[in-house]
Structure 1
């Protein structure tokens, strides 16, 4: 008779064989190439170290083609860098939901627009769309200009001081803008607000959420405690919630004193906090909805904008010929240096700066990989049917650097990639820094206008240089793109 140990071993072998044949069945049925991976773990072992993720996925896309199929543990996983397949996915009502990898975001930032599932996402998105309407964005221009003026003074102290890491300074700057434009321009009046502390808390939560995305066992509070990651994470979450709650309570108390909508302009009514609290009073939103959406919207408004500005400055420092062309364009609009007002009409005339920002987000997309999952069977334009429940990773980083799409110099920085005659034959989904389709980024216009005003003022007043070489950039997978080593920048004051 077989001992219980032998029975256990036999059952384990049968289970592994079942998983293996199930995977082979998926591969044969879908007719999509890709690495089969190992029993149980699939390709999960390749994703443990974040600094290797983009290279590992890129290796298999190079080997098997721009659409591959594999397994993340027991989960079927599709990785896509083909613009037509991406369009199929982003425009399908069966691929609106984010992948399960984003469950960590629910824990860290709250259940808001970033990770809500349909149909609740559709309801919230429709209700919150006015907060990023054109008139509302125009009402933010004084804040963008005022805060960038303060940034100029901070940067002026760094002139001729050697190379510095500007990312912390830019993040503190953008979080100040984010809190004012989403929570109200008078947020600075709160005496105990500390942008640096708030920034540290958001960064701690972001780092822990990323750890949980790539190491799902860290989703357990007990495991986080064992690894020493829970205490600071819990404190940071609590402080962020306290800050958000204070702003909501302050807004509701003020409304109770002066009347809900007295003397408010239409754009004021649509500032995020005003709209969210109005939905709360009408019973459309719960208190938790307002808190969650507020936390997510502040994070989304500052993190990607800070990175876009910082990475653009780094690239221009590495490619000074493009920096000089941008400077000449800005100089023609603003002949006097120092602080100046940038209007919306001015931003529309910065054509070359547009090319630079687009190219920066092509080479260094704000979010390198995004995830979706199929809620029903999905028919691709290739004729393949992707079954319900499949996880999908859209590799924006690889898509934006595809030589088949962007040419032999796809992996270097060249704003000419976005000249009209170079774009005319490109697939509309070949460039998706803010994603596209049904669930595109709600704040993409906000990010571009804010970045443009900031860069115009910085490039008009300072020349940026670095000893860091472009070829030495090493990209690390994160919820937002990160660098293993951050290039330091030197500032010189423009004399004109």
Structure 2
């Protein structure tokens, strides 16, 4: 039997060989410091649990600085939370492709705009951009208003007791998402009414995150061994069946109502027109639809909940928001919010921006270099490097946002406080070549909803801000979601 020292020697030799064969990557350690990790596994053992990812990244950023280099198993990767280098990366045509970890997203949600590689991504993005044009977004305002009116009625029965409103807001944003992108209201669907659909989306998201940071789980056999495959596979199938049903319903409605005009730029109309013209395949339509619905409802629900949570924790700012809204809408109850009204909500803009600074909707994004990339600091990143852009810690950097960077203060977005900020120091929807296609949609929807909620209710919580524990889950999550209490406003 071979001794332990023998196996250690073998592992070290393999590690040295790996470094030699990838010596151009190894040279990055001379330019950027970072944790070297163990032979073969690198730093993979530190990222086994999504609960640890953000805290580990934060620990190493404090130790090595805003840009550091390490290994995830045999894969070299760069962690970046420096605004200038972030701009270099997000504006480079050699960094358009998402990182390898997004293979998990391909498996769970399909190859849509979120994870597609160039040149397919560029083609699809150009074809689908009209679905989020200004006129189309304005046409969604009646849906935003009517659904928020329905939400107000639901919340009126939930006053004066601390509750978790996460599922209520997810159901609300899912109904908006399916109406505005797929042309269908899902309120009568059984899977929606019994919340099974939301559970399936949650299962897929959690498994995709596990697969991102534990790449061996991309193997179906290993998912079976670890007990993750059955529920994940069932969830994917049920979500696919749901999305397919919406597509078929829309196609049948269009066939039955050929004389009626339709907005060709509504997302599903656009996608199915591309299908009829032979530009999209059926799988393209399904994948893009799945990704667009998932993205539209999940991040919007989170942004709403976290904004209300932070205002409940910092009541002075909530009162300022209430006073602004009250000047625009003097009377409580339901009211129509126009686009012109949203433009008057200056303080609401500051609150939303600060909420997304403190709690980045997507805390980490990944890119990979398709060619050598020379950064503005003179360092050349070789082709094949995986890059993790740490938006979460960049948004909370004290060197950028001051000594109180980790707390909530909408005054950070006063014009005078933004004058010296790098344009890439705040990127809640990313930026550059591959920014989020639905960022305007998210902001208009959130402002309409928050205006009505804050005009009609005061939100409080007994959960202290200091006790929040952040979790990487593709979108940002909390280890424990604070409960909120509603009190009616006059």
TM-score (norm 2): 0.96
SS of aligned partner of 1:452: helix
Aligned equivalents of 1:389, 1:370: Cα separation in 2 = 16
1:224-239 aligned at under 5 Å gives the runs: 224-239=223-238
In structure 2, distance between residues paired with 1:313 and 1:92: 36
Partner of 1:187: 185
Q: CA deviation at 1:129?
A: 0.3
Using the TM superposition, give the Cα deviation of residue 233 of structure 1 relative to its aligned residue in structure 2, in angstroms. Answer: 1.5
Deviation at 1:474, TM superposition (A): 0.7
Q: Is the 8 A contact 2:299 2:475 kept in 1?
A: yes
Task: Tell me if the contact between 1:27 and 1:33 (Cα under 8 Å) persists in the aligned partners.
Answer: no
Distance 2:442 2:269 in 1: 20
Stretches of structure 2 lacking an aligned partner (at least 5 in a row): none
1:404-449 Cα offsets, whole Å, 9 max, x none, are 1001110110000000000011100000000000000000000000
Is 1:168 equivalent to 2:163 in the alignment? no
Task: Tell whether the 8 Å contact from 2:50 to 2:213 is kept in structure 1 after alignment.
Answer: yes
Compute the displacement of 1:256 (Å): 2.8
The 3-state SS of whatever aligns with 2:203 is: helix
The equivalent residue for 2:51 is: 51
Report 1:53-452 matches (<5 A): 53-160=53-160, 162-184=161-183, 186-188=184-186, 192=190, 194=192, 196-259=195-258, 262-265=259-262, 268-452=263-447
Separation (CA, whole Å) in 1 of partners of 2:108 and 2:187: 27
- 1:253 to partner: Cα distance: 2.3
Give the superposition deviation at 1:19.
2.9
Deviation of residue 269 (structure 1)? 1.1
Q: What CA distance in whole angstroms lies between the structure 1 residues aligned with 2:267 and 2:168?
A: 25
Q: Deviations over 1:4-33 (max 9, x none)?
A: x99988655422222355677634455111
CA contact (8 A) 2:80 2:387 kept: yes
- Structure 1's 334 and 227: CA in aligned 2 closer, same or farther, altered over 3 A? same
Change beyond 3 A, Cα 1:11–1:246: same
Give secondary structure in 2 for the equivalent of 1:18.
Answer: helix
Q: Deviations over 1:274-329 (max 9, x none)?
A: 00000000000000000000000000000000000000000000000000000000
Does structure 2 conserve the Cα–Cα contact (< 8 Å) formed by 1:373 and 1:390? yes
Q: What is the rounded CA distance, in whole Å, between the counterparts of 2:225 and 2:34 in structure 1?
A: 36
C-alpha displacement of 1:228: 2.3
Q: Which runs of structure 2 are paired with 1:460-479 in the superposition (5 Å)?
A: 460-479=455-474
Number of equivalent positions: 488
* CA shift for structure 1 position 167: 0.7
Q: Deviations over 1:188-228 (max 9, x none)?
A: 48655625222121111111111111222221222222222
- Please say if residues 47 and 214 of structure 1, whose CA atoms lie closer than 8 Å, have aligned partners that are also in contact: yes
1:60 Cα deviation after fit: 1.1
Distance between the aligned counterparts of 1:11 and 1:231, measured in 2? 37
CA gap 1:166/1:6 in 2 versus in 1, 3 angstroms: closer
- Does structure 2 conserve the Cα–Cα contact (< 8 Å) formed by 1:23 and 1:36? no
SS in 2 for 1:481: strand
Give the CA deviation at 1:144.
Answer: 0.4
Q: What's the secondary structure of 1:217's corresponding residue? A: helix
Which of the residues 450, 454, 457 maps onto 2:449? 454
SS at match of 1:187: coil
Distance 1:183 1:359 in 2: 31
Contact persistence 2:98–2:117 (CA under 8 A): yes
- Unaligned stretches of 5+ in structure 1? none
- The C-alpha deviation readout for 1:442-465, integer Å capped at 9, x for no partner, is 000000001111100000000000
Conserved 8 A contact 1:42-1:71:
yes
Task: Give the direction of change, closer, same or farther, for the CA distance of 1:17–1:334 in structure 2 (3 Å limit).
Answer: same
How far the C-alpha of 1:487 sits from its partner, in A, is 0.6
What's the C-alpha RMSD, in Å, of the aligned pairs?
A: 2.0
